[in-house]
Structure 1
């Protein structure tokens, strides 16, 4: 299988090349040339597979021989053996045919572990084969950083540099990054917001001449196709719990950068019977404004109790835009690059395509806290603020109560104690493997929002 850029200005790439480069050379994002199609019979045949075995079956369709089957199977098995729950992604019933898919049982208590634990292994495999070193450069609004560091801290062929917005992530999120020990681990706090961090990463990728000989940059953000690929799996895993008795399922997905819900969109394209895909956002609602009003324009960033979604520009939306524009790469490029200049609208037919694929809702901090309190009081179950937004969006957008509605629980509530306490509840204790986290020594530097300073720090550290 080959992968093409959303902007159409580079040759198709192999899976190995896509994993190692992340961003396409023309500034676009990689997508598969064709999406594998599965029959209902094929999907149902996977009903009783373990999470790891299901992941192998789905991921191998996209790897397509770039990793030997037995090696890939072991890689996937090892990845999910590190999760603390035997089901890896268990479902929890809230009532009224509403469910929560718990995606926080990985090493860093966030859904990012599903992809980044695997991506670290894929990088090691390809780099060892090539005897090549890379410098991973990534930006995080909170959870990606710690998951990426955990996935790559033992790699002999990787130095990893993670940018986070200074003083704009929770204390637990920051400490999960800045206490990771390793000579190849480098944490950088940027005096700016997440979008500033993400912009610095994209600028560095566009001109890598500053790197020492023998090095290239690699991406671990959800711009890296392997992240999306791994996340497709849990949509199938959750749906298969219901598909013998139900014709379809629906998902509500807390999303800022559009990567997680794009994986759900791909699962649907592959043949998984998904009725609704609900984009759940906080007050930074560019995606909701597009789906509900056909407005895709920038507004100022507002800090919220759900910081992982405090994002103005949703990078992965470009992958969906490619489909919405029927593969017209020039139109994609014009739309994306024009974002900062004007109000972006699309034609009625294109907007109808978006609305046919997604519902959406925007939930503010007050409502988020109300949901956390309501679910705790009613069901004795604690939601993190991002998951609470997903649950409320599901309630607002649900069209058919006979179809199971699954909200993705993207992080453990312990990572967001401010929101829990604001809801009038007691913050949970850290799990055993992180019990002393807040006392651990930190290591990070604070840099201005300046590409030259970031490049200099990277070169000095390699």
Structure 2
């Protein structure tokens, strides 16, 4: 399996080189040169596989023969042995027409663990096998940072620097990152928003000379390995419903700000999974909702919400979707992204909007609506939602159609966002690993939101 850039200026490269490149050297994003298409017989044969067994089969499609199957199996088994639930990503029934896919049973209680436990082990494997230097640079709106750090802390041959927006993540998210005192970990608290952090990361990666000099590797969802890992749980959730007798398509409601998690569902659909609608659940930073409804992609005014991991205006994975929307035409994508950089706006014609709306629906959840969903489901179903999952549930309810079944992706444990939970007078008990964070010292450096300030810290650290 080879990988190419959405902008068409990078020669096809293999899986390991794609993982190491992260952001394509032409500024685009890497995608598989050809998407595997799975026949129904193969899907049926996967139905009874455990999560690690299923992950192994999916990864094998994209890795090819670059990693021996025995080595790949060990990477997968090691990655998911750290999860607290034997199913890794269990499916919980809320109603006959509504289920929750719990993605928060990993080490940092967030869905990012599903991909980053694997990617951390994969980076360590590549470093050992190829004698590569792995200097990881990433940005986080809250969960990616902790999951990435947990995935690589203490691993030989790897250093990691994570940027987060200072004061704009939840306290637990901040503590999960900044209480780590390992020598190979650097936390930078950036004065600005997550969009500032993400912009700095992408612009630094686009400086190819600097990127190669310091051996920078990507941990954000610009890295294709992240997206491929996330496709697995769409298959797993579908198979669990099939075991319960559900036949036909399943809708997935996905809380998203960066378009990565829902894009993984789109890829699963392209591979042949019977997906109905992909429901894009946003908060008041609703640039993606406007795109699905009107065909206009344009950042607006940043708003702080109770679902801070979705407080994003510029979605880093959106370019990958444009690539498929425009028939894998890299010249068109290259032109559109150049225009977006200049004008700050993308508008698609009606025929393309019709294609978007055939696959996606979208709903922007207001702050109070998010809290109301938490209170409602806690009272009626005795199920406590974190505010991001609550956005997914609220969107699923708003767009529900009779006779359809929806799985909402639950992206984090509610203990990570107790500030929002308390606003509806709900008390929860923290898991021991989270409670222990409050007694630990913090280690991070506050920097201004500029490329130069961050690069100076990177040069010193790396």
Task: Work out whether the TM-score is over 0.5.
Answer: yes
Q: 2: distance between equivalents of 1:162 and 1:235?
A: 28
CA-based RMSD: 1.3
Q: Tell me the secondary structure at the aligned position of residue 58 of structure 1.
A: helix
**Contact 1:211/1:459 (<8 A) preserved:** no
SS in 2 for 1:330: helix
Q: What residue in structure 2 maps to residue 361 of structure 1?
A: 363
Residue aligning to 2:143: 143
TM-score by structure 2 length? 0.97
Once the two structures are TM-superposed, the CA of residue 5 in structure 1 deviates from its matched residue by: 0.4
Distance (Å, rounded) in 2 between the aligned partners of 1:19 and 1:82: 22
Stretches of structure 1 lacking an aligned partner (at least 5 in a row): none
Structure 1 residue 135, shift from structure 2 partner: 1.4
* Contact map agreement 1:19 1:226 (CA 8 A) in 2: yes
Partner of 1:443: 443
Q: Select which of 367, 376, 379 maps to 2:378.
A: 376
> Structure 1-normalised TM-score?
0.97
- Residue matched to 2:261: 260
* Contact persistence 2:276–2:359 (CA under 8 A): no
Partner of 1:216: 215
The offset of 1:403, in angstroms, is 3.0
CA distance in 2, matches of 1:449, 1:389: 29
Q: Which residue is 2:311 aligned to?
A: 310
SS at match of 1:241: helix
**Per-residue deviation at 1:334?**
2.5
2:47 maps to 47
CA contact (8 A) 1:103 1:410 kept: yes
**Partner of residue 74, structure 1:** 74
What's the offset of the Cα at 1:9?
0.9
Q: How does 1:27-426 map to 2 (within 5 A)?
A: 27-210=27-210, 215-243=214-242, 245=245, 246-339=247-340, 341-399=343-401, 401-426=402-427
- SS of residue matched to 1:313: coil
1:343 and 1:155 mapped to 2: Cα distance? Answer: 42
* Structure 1 counterpart SS, 2:160: strand
Partner of 1:243: helix, strand, or coil? helix
Offset at residue 156 of structure 1 (A): 1.1
How many pairs does the alignment contain?
459
What per-residue deviation string (whole Å, max 9, x for no partner) do you get for residues 202-254 of structure 1?
A: 111112544795x4100000000000010000000000012353112110000
Q: Which 10-residue stretch deviates more, 80-89 or 122-131?
A: 122-131
Which sections of structure 2, spanning at least 5 residues, go unmatched?
Answer: none
Report whether the alignment pairs 1:20 with 2:20: yes
Partner Cα distance (1:53, 1:343) in 2: 43
- Indicate if the aligned counterparts of 2:234 and 2:268 stay in contact, CA closer than 8 A: yes
CA drift of 1:131 comes to: 1.2
For 2:158 and 2:461, locate their aligned partners in 1 and report how far apart those are by CA, in whole Å: 12
Alignment of 1:1-12 (within 5 A): 1-12=1-12
Is the 2:204–2:211 contact (alpha carbons within 8 Å) kept by the matching residues of 1? no
Quick check: 1:295–1:343 contact (8 Å CA) kept in 2? yes
After superposing on structure 2, the runs of 4+ consecutive aligned residues of structure 1 that deviate more than 4 Å are: 210-213
